[in-house]
Structure formats: structure tokens, C-alpha cells
Structure 1
Amino acid sequence: MKQIISTDDAPAAIGAYSQATTDGSLILTSGQLPLTREGELLDDASIEDQTKQCLDNIQAILQAEGASMSSVLKTTVFLDNINTFEEFNQSYSDYFDENPPARSAIEVGEVPKGAALEIEAIAVAEQ
């Protein structure tokens, strides 16, 4: 049965979606923008700092469900400029230095709110 995951430690949803959902075995996060939990968009920050904020948001959502970044099976990354991939990847690898999850990283025409990237994750719910 689907359950909604919500935490004040990550930015609130800005549309008709939940921060994440779970069926008790998997956690699926919505795409996380580089928004602080107060809702400030870090669109003028470096790609490294925007990546860090997106992943901090995912980490907070997972922790609300008792999971961690080591539980992540797959991420999908939407970049507004594939030429920033190397810088993004340096920041990303700080969160997944051992046994990283599967990942797709693609360039898209635009990311919501003018951000440089958006990241979503699928994780195993801690049993």
C-alpha cells in the first residue's frame, strides 16, 4: 500500500506531488531541486553546490523513513548542461564513494525554476 513520506528537513513540494512515496519495500523520491528546506533556490550557486543541496534533500527524505544514502539503488539526474557533468560528478561522488547506485544522467532543455539540475532516487526501505 502506498504511503506518503514528508519531512520538514527537506523543501516542501511545490506542486501536486509528494517528497517521496513508499510501498514498504522501496522508497521513490520526487526530483529534488537545489532548494534549501526553507525554499531558497540556489540557482546562482556552482553546479557542485547545487548537486550537494539536491543530495542533502534526498538524504533528509530517506532519513525520515529510516533509510540512508547507502540504501539508494538508482538515481536519475537531469542536467541543464551536460558540459557540467564532470563538476557534478565530483560533488555527487562524495555521497556515493563506496558501492555507488546505478545512475542515469541526461541533459534536458530546462530544469524547473531555472536550476542547473534535478535528482531523483529509488532506495530500499530499511526493514
Structure 2
Amino acid sequence: MSNKAVINTEQAPAAIGPYSQAIKAGNTVYMSGQIPLDPSTMELVAEDIETQARQVFTNLQAVCHEAAGSLQDIVKLNLYLTDLSNFAVVNQIMEEYFQAPYPARAAVGVKELPKGSQVEAEAVMVIGD
């Protein structure tokens, strides 16, 4: 595909496997899952869900900006939580980063996430409409 471009920023954690932070195809950007790693240390930012969720959205925001977009350009967001009792807290924190109209979203409970993270988010963004 000739219109496929790799999106990479040092403002978000480097990929910890054989994948890209994001791939732009046309005006759509497919963002890999972000966990709450500090981009400079590649370590979890904290143990508490509030700090972890904020870091996940901050990391997603950095990838959006590198692709010439913003969180408001996200059309689909998938959340993965190791404890669904944290769902309400993550919703509250999401409201700090997003405004209506909110993206379509799924929230899935999972057994575990990389590096012991409690939350991960992946997204699809459409830019230039």
C-alpha cells in the first residue's frame, strides 16, 4: 500500500515488540495499544489506576499529535482493564481528555496486560475531514 506511513514519536513509549506506535493509511491512523509507561524510562508510571489511566491518554495524545491530529479526532477507542471495577474511574479520567462528541468505544476486562499494567487503550483516528 503506497499511502501507508509509520507514525513514531519519542513523546510516547517506544514499541516493546514488532509493531509500530501507529500506521497512517490515507486519512486514517491506526494506533497501537498504549499502556502507562513513562516514555523516558519505559517503566510503569505508578501502581494506582488514576495515574495509569492519565498516562495512557497522555501517550495516546502524543501519538495523535505526531500524526497531525488530536484526541478529538479519535473515532474508535478500545479500553482494556484488568479490573472492571475501575471502569468508573477510567471514565472520569477519560472526560479530562475528551469532549463530546465522544468516540465510539469498547471496554473489555482482561486477565493481564503487558508489564503489569492495569489499563491499555488503542484507537483509530481520522484526520483531515
TM-score range, shorter chain: over 0.9
Unaligned runs of 5+ in 1: none
Q: TM-score, normalised by structure 2?
A: 0.93
**1:34–1:26 distance in 2 versus 1, CA, 3 Å:** same
Separation in structure 2 between the aligned mates of residue 103 and residue 93 of structure 1, nearest angstrom = 13
2:69 matches 1:62: no
Q: Please name the residue that 1:3 is paired with.
A: 5
Equivalent residue for 2:26?
Answer: 24
What CA deviation, in whole Å up to 9, does each residue of 1:18-63 have, x standing for no partner?
Answer: 000011210011000000111121251x211111101111110110
Which residue number in structure 2 is paired with residue 41 of structure 1?
A: 44
Q: Which residue of 2 aligns with 1:75?
A: 77
- Aligned pairs (5 A) from 1:81-92: 81-92=83-94
Partners of 1:62 and 1:96 in 2: CA distance: 13
Tell whether the 8 Å contact from 1:52 to 1:91 is kept in structure 2 after alignment.
Answer: yes
CA distance in 2, matches of 1:76, 1:27: 14
* Structure 1 residue ranges (4+ consecutive) displaced by more than 4 angstroms after TM superposition: none
Q: Secondary structure at the match of 1:119?
A: strand
Preserved CA contact (<8 Å) 1:111 1:117: yes
For 1:4 and 1:73, locate their aligned partners in 2 and report how far apart those are by CA, in whole Å: 19
Tell me, in whole angstroms, the C-alpha distance in 2 between the residues paired with 1:53 and 1:95: 11
- The one-letter code matched in structure 2 to 1:61 is V
What TM-score do the two structures reach when normalised by structure 1?
A: 0.94
Whether the aligned pair in 1 keeps the contact of 2:72 and 2:99 (CA below 8 Å) is no
User: For 1:51-99, what per-residue CA distance to the aligned partner results, in whole angstroms no more than 9, with x for missing partners?
Assistant: 1101111110110111011100010000000011111111011111321
1 CA distance for matches of 2:63 and 2:101? 20
Q: Quick one: which amino acid aligns to residue 30 of structure 2?
A: L
Q: Aligned equivalents of 1:35 and 1:61: distance in 2?
A: 14
Q: Distance in 1 between matches of 2:15 and 2:66?
A: 15
The Cα shift of 1:113 comes to 1.0
